[in-house]
């Protein structure tokens, strides 16, 4: 029997209050939850020191980043624009590591300011060498294996373009020697899987790569920490996966005489279950016998594209607008408001509707989509169908609501368009 999902950090009264005060749809984040997740990450087992970097692509809202900064979290930036944004928000450049698919156009300025560059290809490494001969640099390697709940979230192995292929170590050394570069950090990242054995294996492979570079003093093992959104999904336990890895670091120190500093880069772990979307039921329609009952929400892929991209499952909790529950449940297919066949909130991998049992949903009721703190607002198809960017609200430990992003108005959607004479 499918379990009915429950609210994670909001109360039903808070849901109704937020909807009335800020309108729907609206993202809501828990400050208390974010801070607790930071504390958990900062307690990751380590042998010789730890730096936690927040993968800011998960959710780059200014207030979210300010909470991270106050907790002592550093930044993992995936583009030059993220690095610039983090600096603008008050992070010191030396707290930021740039790991990007595209070579930054202002790489020279960023590095000169103090940003740490992590070369993700041979071309990037050589470009860095030409700009900064004799300087220290970090290199990302593809360790040859990975982990993810779908092929799209697996960022290690032969199907991934991320990082220098592990068999090209000698080519990396040749470039480093040619420009006098010192590779002080090795970086790997396997994806968003939850298999601790795979993660431990990658740690060992990464340590083996680090052993090939005598100047290496830091090993960054990236992310790869699965977060369970649904009740039947497990969340990675940092202590369980961290203790064996810390022991591997001690063995490395005993064998090679180098006490490697550990870095990790949680993004999802810090934010996923500390965010939700509050939407309203706009319509309920049926396709008759043998068909489905569809609940249409006033939100969709324009603010969370994960269901369309990955068939990702998010808990859906119906909250009565009037505060009275019928106690009934029903089977629905939830869909978004975009005029797009792929805007299915409950769908199978590869497409197609999947019914979900929830509380009875009536017109005007609220539906809370949980597990929306990471890779939702930041990875949306914003302005598709010209829907405005969604507002975002922070809930403090005292229950006070703070607006941390305004909802776009119509003019802001097209303000950068330039009329021309035709």
E strands of 31-172, at which residues? Answer: 50-55, 74-77, 96-98, 116-119, 136-142, 164-165
Closest CA to 194 of 147, 143, 152: 147
User: 181 near 216, Cβ under 8 Å?
Assistant: no
Looking at the annotation, which residues are catalytic? 339
CB crowding 68-79: b at 16 or more within 10 Å, else e = bbebebbbbbbb
DSSP character for 105? T
The 3-state DSSP class for residue 419 equals: coil
Cα 207 to chain centroid, rounded: 25
Q: 110, 132 in Cβ contact below 8 A?
A: no
Residue 159: asked if its preceding bond is cis (omega within 30°), the reply is: no
| Two tokens, residue 180 | 């006098």
377, 392 Cβ separation under 8 angstroms:
yes
- Contacting residues for 114 by C-beta, under 8 A, at least 6 apart: 92, 93, 94
Helix, strand, or coil (residue 384) = helix
Return d(Cα 126, Cα 175) in angstroms, integer. 6
- The number of residues in the chain equals 422
Take residue 235 and report the two structure tokens written for it. Answer: 């969340």
Q: 261: left (phi > 0), else alpha (psi -120 to 50), else beta?
A: beta
**Paired tokens of 387:** 């829907």
Calculate the CA 225 to chain-centre distance. 10
User: Comparing C-alpha atoms, which of 262, 360, 344 is closest to residue 48?
Assistant: 262
């Amino acid at each position: 029997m499918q379990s009915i999902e429950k609210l994670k950090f909001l109360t039903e009264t808070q849901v109704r209050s937020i909807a009335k005060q800020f309108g729907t749809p609206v993202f809501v984040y828990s400050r208390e939850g974010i801070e607790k997740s930071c504390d958990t990450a900062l307690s990751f087992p380590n042998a010789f020191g730890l730096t936690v970097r927040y993968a800011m692509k998960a959710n780059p809202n200014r207030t979210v980043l300010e909470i991270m900064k106050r907790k002592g979290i550093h930044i993992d930036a995936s583009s030059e624009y993220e690095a610039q944004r983090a600096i603008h928000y008050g992070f010191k450049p030396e707290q930021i590591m740039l790991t990007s698919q595209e070579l930054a156009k202002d790489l020279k300025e960023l590095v000169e300011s103090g940003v740490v560059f992590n070369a993700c290809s041979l071309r990037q490494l050589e470009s860095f060498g030409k700009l900064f001969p004799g300087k220290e640099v970090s290199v990302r390697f593809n360790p040859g294996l990975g982990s993810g709940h779908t092929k799209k979230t697996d960022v290690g192995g032969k199907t991934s373009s991320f990082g220098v292929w592990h068999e090209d170590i000698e080519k990396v050394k040749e470039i480093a020697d040619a420009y006098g570069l010192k590779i002080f950090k090795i970086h790997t990242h396997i994806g968003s899987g939850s298999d601790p054995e795979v993660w431990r294996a990658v740690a060992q492979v990464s340590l083996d790569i680090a052993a090939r570079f005598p100047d290496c003093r830091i090993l960054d093992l990236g992310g790869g920490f699965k977060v369970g959104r649904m009740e039947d999904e497990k969340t990675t336990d940092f202590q369980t996966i961290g203790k064996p890895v810390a022991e591997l670091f001690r063995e490395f120190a005993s064998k090679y005489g180098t006490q490697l500093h550990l870095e990790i880069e949680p993004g999802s772990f810090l934010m996923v279950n500390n965010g939700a979307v509050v939407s309203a039921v706009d319509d309920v329609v049926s396709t008759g016998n043998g068909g489905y009952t569809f609940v249409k929400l006033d939100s969709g892929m324009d603010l969370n594209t994960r269901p369309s991209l990955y068939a990702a499952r998010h808990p859906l909790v119906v909250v009565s607008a009037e505060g009275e529950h019928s106690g009934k449940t029903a089977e629905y297919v939830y869909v978004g408001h975009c005029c797009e066949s792929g805007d299915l909130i409950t769908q199978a991998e590869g497409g197609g509707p999947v019914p979900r049992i929830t509380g009875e949903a009536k017109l005007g009721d609220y539906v809370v989509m949980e597990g929306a703190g990471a890779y939702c607002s930041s990875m949306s198809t914003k302005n598709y169908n010209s829907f405005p960017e969604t507002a975002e609200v922070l809930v403090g430990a005292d229950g006070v609501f703070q607006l941390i992003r305004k909802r776009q108005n119509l003019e802001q959607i097209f303000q950068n368009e330039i009329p021309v004479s035709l």
